[in-house]
Amino acid sequence: MLHIINQSPLNTTTLDTCLSTATGGDILLIEDAVYAATKGNAAEAKLKSAMGKFKVHVLTPDLEARGLGDRMMDGVSAVDYGGFVELVSNNKNCQSWL
């Protein structure tokens, strides 16, 4: 399953809810959720510990639009819009976490 998260982990518990509820699959961080994929943020440890259960991706245009392209955590895969489409097509189900 592809889990799509668009809200910052600094403002909401959306990422925490996904990590504690979902049983695995791919996570795609888009929009303000890309802050979770940066080094030194408050959610870094949680996301790193979840990487055994999830494969984590970040939408590169959203990361770069926020000036964070050089701060991406190790273990996170950067994807462009074509990669987003590929993730959707490679997963049987998609869940947007609001």
CATH number at residue 75: 3.40.1260.10
Ramachandran sector of residue 77 (left: φ over 0; alpha: ψ -120 to 50; beta: rest): beta
pLDDT more than 70, % of the chain: 100
Q: Pull the structure tokens for residue 86.
A: 């590929």
Structural domains of the chain, count: 1
Low pLDDT (below 70) residues in the chain = none
Give dist(CA 15, CA 5) in Å, integer: 7
How distant is the alpha carbon of residue 90 from its chain centre? 16
pLDDT in tens, 45-63: 999 999 999 999 999 999 9
Give dist(CA 43, CA 87) in Å, integer: 23
Which pLDDT belongs to residue 78? 97
Give dist(CA 1, CA 18) in Å, integer: 12
For 69, the domain range is: 2-97
Length of the chain: 98
